[in-house]
Amino acid sequence: MTARAAFGWLLAAGLTVAGMAGAQDAGATARRAAALLADAATQLDRADDASDRVRALTAVVRAYEEGLAALRDGLRQVIIRERALSADLDAREDEIARLLGVLTSIERAPAPLLLLHPSGALGTARASMMLGQVAPALQQEADGLRSDIADLTELRLLEEAAAQSLAEGLLGIQAARLALSEAISDRTDLPRRLTEDSAQIAALLNRVDTLEAFADGLGQMPAAAGQAILDLPLPLPVAGTVLRGFNRPDAAGIARPGLVVAATPGALVSAPAAGTIRYAGPLLDYGNVIIQEPRSGVMMIFAGIAEIYVEIGDVVVAGAPLGLMGGTQPTTVDFLRDSAAGGGTSRTETLYVEVREAGRPVDPIAWFAEE
């Protein structure tokens, strides 16, 4: 089943099953995810012929990421609804058994026998009146049970049918990321600005022991020319959720002047704004770090990237790919399990984001749109 077909089904289930505002949200999410995944597959086929293949593949990866995120949200709502229905039917097991027993006995009893009563005509009349009052309620209960069972069956079929769409989407984004990495390695060099000599940076790395000290030392070197106008808030460099805010301590009680953003494994890290890359590479125990200068006196620090696409001195445009997060590509089973567990938050990579103005850290929330 294609992504569009699977989500057409999800849309129908979301709109007819929940019967509340959440169902409308699930339907809208499904419709958007279907369009994104279908467009991503089409763009991936066309990217080889694009004049700017890097830009085309960047758009493909983002489309796949957004589509898969929407798919996870839609499936999570479906699974929640399916579990609620199952729990409700389990809780009503005795009631349902009695209802089915009554309905079965009524259907099997001969019609003349139903009209007789041991106490005579008056008893028969009273019984008929009682049956007239009970029958609509029994019918309503039977109709509700029939609807719930039909909804449950449809939801379970939907979960099974989604597996093929998930497999296609996960394979598609994996292919897009690989193609983007190859396109990055094949492209001509980016324009460069006059920047620090590599020997200066090497010397700085040898005499600092913290990220803050390195950023301060880097800020004292000649800055890139220009005062770009930044349209705030900027998008986060990676699609994800902010786990920890500015100066908020972690489980070990350590507070850092930046954000910790949870992202899916292999997520694309992009430049929030145009600017010059002041540093790109491993730094202390932070893993790979990229420091971008969008304008003189402002530095954005991104730490925890697995694969880096840029070099010191590169001039990048807003949205340009900077690198990829680490982690293992989830399987279809992992994807479904994480959706059931709460939207996939059990399998994440973390990116540290810091903003410094005139050498001092500031709250990044003032710069970025929190997602």
Q: What is the CATH number of the domain that holds 356?
A: 2.70.70.10
pLDDT number for residue 134:
56
The answer to the question of residue 122 being in a domain is no
The answer to the question of residue 127 being in a domain is no
Helices assigned H by DSSP within the chain? 3-17, 21-46, 53-91, 93-108, 111-114, 121-186, 198-207, 211-219, 332-342
pLDDT band at 141 (very low <50, low <70, confident <90, very high): low
Domain C-terminal end among 186, 221, 239: 186
- Residue with the larger pLDDT of the pair 168 and 129: 168
pLDDT band at 352 (very low <50, low <70, confident <90, very high): very high
Residue 338 sits in which domain range? 198-366
The answer to the question of residue 108 being in a domain is no
- List all residues 6 or more positions away from 27 whose beta carbon is below 8 Å from its beta carbon: 10, 11, 14, 15
Q: 281 and 225, same structural domain?
A: yes
pLDDT number for residue 359:
86
Q: 202 and 178, same structural domain?
A: no
Q: 302 and 205, same structural domain?
A: yes
pLDDT band at 301 (very low <50, low <70, confident <90, very high): very high
Q: 167 and 267, same structural domain?
A: no
Q: Does the structure show a pLDDT above 90 at 79? A: no
From the CB of residue 237, how many other CB atoms can be counted at a distance below 10 Å?
Answer: 25
Q: 223 and 150, same structural domain?
A: no
Q: 227 and 171, same structural domain?
A: no
The answer to the question of residue 169 being in a domain is yes
The answer to the question of residue 118 being in a domain is no
pLDDT number for residue 323:
96
> In angstroms, rounded to a whole number, what is the distance separating the alpha carbons of residues 211 and 312?
17
When divided into structural domains, the chain yields a total of 2
Q: 24 and 154, same structural domain?
A: yes
Q: 202 and 180, same structural domain?
A: no
The answer to the question of residue 37 being in a domain is yes
Q: 294 and 255, same structural domain?
A: yes
**Measuring CA to CA, which residue among 306, 311, 214, 228 is closest to residue 269?**
306
Q: 326 and 246, same structural domain?
A: yes
The answer to the question of residue 107 being in a domain is no
Q: Does the structure show a pLDDT above 60 at 302? A: yes
> In angstroms, rounded to a whole number, what is the distance separating the alpha carbons of residues 180 and 172?
12
DSSP secondary-structure letter at 160?
Answer: H
Domain C-terminal end among 126, 152, 186: 186
Q: 238 and 295, same structural domain?
A: yes
The answer to the question of residue 213 being in a domain is yes
Domain C-terminal end among 131, 159, 186: 186
